[in-house]
Structure 1
Amino acid sequence: MVRATAQARVPGASGLLSIGQVLAKLNPEFPELSPSKLRFLEERQLITPSRTDSGYRKFSATDMDRLRFVLTMQRDHYLPLKVIRGYLDDFDAGRQPELPGGAVQAPSMLSSERRLSRDELIREAGANAMLLNDAVSASLIVPADHFGEDVLSVLKSLVELQRSGIEPRHLRGFRAAAERELGLIENALMPVARRKDASSRAKAAEMAREIASQLEIVRSSLIRSALTRLDS
């Protein structure tokens, strides 16, 4: 994953993938991925595919690993591209970066993130079916056939909270708060969201993650401030 070689020209592009082949491989896992999304990620320097002499983009296995990593961190952890790029810049420099707050464990660059069945989710979280059902009823977890690492983290946290007497039903206000924040984000994105082209949709999605990231900073600061008052 050395960025210096990413813009190299590749005469035959043997063993490399075209945009169409990349979409064919990744769309089953990331159905929102499109040619415009790939170009958008390239503009943001998250991926840097090679070019043929004719100027066509070609993606190596390393490019695919990097792309899958970026898409996974967006989909499952809702991280803005600015944060993901900072992580990758440190990674490229040979450092051992951590994602914000250390709360999110980055998936391997060499494989896609696991998708867990309901039984696997319950077992790995150390939970039980009733707790998962309560979390779904409280709108803390969205029901699905398979779950990502983010849901596993949520369920693990609910297991720990339950030990302190805090049940999913006590957290119903979290969903309402999230919906209010979504309203703020939608209003902020309205000028961009009115445009129907694919590039604008990709820009709006990234802006939404950026705004959500800033809201998370404010929320965390308020909680830390409240805890300080509690300690005093």
Structure 2
Amino acid sequence: MAARLTIGRLLARLTDEFPDLSPSKIRFLEAEGLLTPDRTPAGYRTYSEDDVERLRYILAAQRDRYWPLRVIKDALDALDRGLTEPQQPGGLPRVPAPAPDTDVPEPAALLSRPALSMTGPELRSASGLDRETFHALENFGLLDPDPSGLFDAHDLDIAVAAARLAEHGLEARHLRTFRTAADREIGLVQQVLSTTRGEVREDVTAEMLASCIALHVALVKAGIDR
């Protein structure tokens, strides 16, 4: 557990930078709801490193920007919620641009699968699927061999994912919902592609696939987190 500071040690950390800081001012900021220190069983205030930085932000905003406490409180609320502080008093906080999700492949990578043809036994061996699960995945439409009975690189990706889920108790019958959802997404993409021709079609396909995957990943992550 990180060491916590008493109000005296907090003052010692910040008085060189803010000479007018006093215990009464710190208590006033607490009363105004800008600081929320912890208390010991005996009732003494203790401050974390986050509290130090929060107090430094408050004091600097007062000294350098001449912001009133109301504006500072709104800015702190925005920062606490992961937003970017307003650029000026009364302005709206900004939502930072989302970082690229590393779980979502780049569009170009979605269309560049290696040429690969496998028999059923070869696919089972490469993915670790047992025979029963393998045939169940075929019956439920998750694995789809070509007319000659061979499987491609996409089938390998599906089989590997299914094998990993099987380790957590999800059987092939549980995965039918993925097939149904994928078919619906495919239908939406095909509607758009039906009006797209030429070289642009491949770019649009890749972009839509990436967006569909990004939406799916975001929905699943949000549902689990919530």
Per the normalisation by structure 1, the TM-score is 0.45
Structure number with larger C-alpha Rg: 2
Q: Which has the higher contact order (CA 8 A, sep 6+)?
A: 1
Structure with the higher fraction of residues in helix conformation = 1
